[in-house]
């Protein structure tokens, strides 16, 4: 659990630092195209991640890519509107742990790095997504 807390704190610290400079973040926000390409990379990383890929074993990948792209696009202020299920509904009965949530965040960072999304924009996005943790994490468990 120490790793989980450290990573969660890292995300919180990164979010706080990011919040200190709103204008550069707005200018560094990823475009809808960058978001879509990063999300496609993310799905590949998740599929290859033995810590969390079993959560997605019975997932409609096409719908996941679409909903993820719409949600992230909306979160960063893009023209998209997320119309998928709530995070609570989407993760119901999955028993998602904090460790799993953090592994997904790490995979997202790798996907954004691969896409060349600037660190301030990454931190902003991670801040927005970290706010969803209470709706996604539904179980306690060991490190993934």
Residue 144 placed within a domain: no
pLDDT in tens, 44-56: 888 899 999 998 8
pLDDT in tens, 22-45: 223 333 455 555 555 565 678 888
Rounded to an integer, the average pLDDT of 98-124 is 89
Residue 15's nearest CA partner among 135, 119, 138 is 119
Total domains, the chain: 1
pLDDT in tens, 130-141: 999 999 999 987
Q: Residue 6: its pLDDT value, please? A: 43
Higher pLDDT, 114 or 144: 114
Residue 141 placed within a domain: no
Backbone angles phi, psi at 140, to 5 degrees: -95, 150
pLDDT-based confidence at residue 125 (cuts at 50, 70, 90)? confident
Q: How far is it, in rounded angstroms, from Cα 37 to Cα 133? A: 23
**In CATH, what number is assigned to the domain containing residue 73?**
1.10.490.10
- DSSP code, position 55: G
Which residue range(s) make up the domain with 121? 2-136
Residue 11 placed within a domain: yes
């Amino acid at each position: 659990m120490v790793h989980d807390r450290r990573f969660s704190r890292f995300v919180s610290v990164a979010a706080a630092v990011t919040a200190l400079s709103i204008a550069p973040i707005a200018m560094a926000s990823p475009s809808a195209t960058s978001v879509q390409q990063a999300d496609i990379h993310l799905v590949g990383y998740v599929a290859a991640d033995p810590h969390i890929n079993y959560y997605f074993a019975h997932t409609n990948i096409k719908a996941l890519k679409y909903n993820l792209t719409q949600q992230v696009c909306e979160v960063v202020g893009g023209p998209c509107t997320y119309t998928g299920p709530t995070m609570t509904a989407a993760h119901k009965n999955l028993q998602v742990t904090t460790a799993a949530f953090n592994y997904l965040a790490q995979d997202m960072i790798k996907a954004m790095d691969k896409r060349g999304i600037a660190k301030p924009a990454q931190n902003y996005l991670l801040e927005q997504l970290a706010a969803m943790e209470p709706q996604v994490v539904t179980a306690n468990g060991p490190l993934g």
